[in-house]
């Protein structure tokens, strides 16, 4: 997967991270923070490898 951006999104009206807004293979998507979701697993794999940084929520 070619992941070109990733940023946490907080819960509505709160400050806890709820999901990750990301662009994968040119498609913007919202990925739940859950191991076993293939997009989340790949994001965390690339983060661990130092190839990707997840930006803090706005």
Partner 1 sequence: MSKAAELAALIGSQSALSNRNLIINGAMQVAQRGTSETSVTSSQYADAPDRFKVAMTTAGTWTVSQSTTSPEGFSNSYKFDCTAANGSLSSDSNIQLLQRIEGQNLQQLAKGTSGAKSVTVSFYVRTNKTGTYTLELFDRDNTRTFSKTYTVSSADTWEFKSVTFAGDTSGALDNDNAVSLDVSWFLAAGTDFTSGTFSSGWASKTDANRVSSSQVNLADSTSNEWLITGVQLEVGEQATPFEHRSFGDELRRCQRYYFRTTGSSTGYGNLATVSRIGNTLYRGVVEFPVTMRSRPSFSSSGSFQTLDSGFTFSSMSGGDGASFDSHGVQVTMTSNGSAGQSTLLRQAADGQAALIYDAEL
Residue 35 C-beta: closest distance to partner 1, Å: 9
Compare residues 15 and 50 and give the one whose CB is closer to partner 1: 15
39/13 Cα distance (integer angstroms): 25
Compare residues 12 and 48 and give the one whose CB is closer to partner 1: 12
**What's the angle, vertex CA 22, arms to CA 35 and CA 30, rounded to 5?**
65
Residue 53 C-beta: closest distance to partner 1, Å: 19
Contact residues for partner 1 (CB under 8 A)?
Answer: 9-12, 18-19, 21, 25, 27-32, 34, 36-40
12/1 Cα distance (integer angstroms): 29
């Amino acid at each position: 997967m070619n992941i070109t951006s990733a940023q946490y999104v907080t819960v509505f009206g709160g400050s806890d991270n709820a999901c990750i807004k990301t662009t994968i293979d040119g498609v913007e998507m919202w990925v739940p923070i859950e191991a076993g979701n293939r997009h989340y697993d790949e994001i965390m794999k690339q983060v661990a490898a130092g190839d990707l940084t997840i930006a803090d929520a706005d």
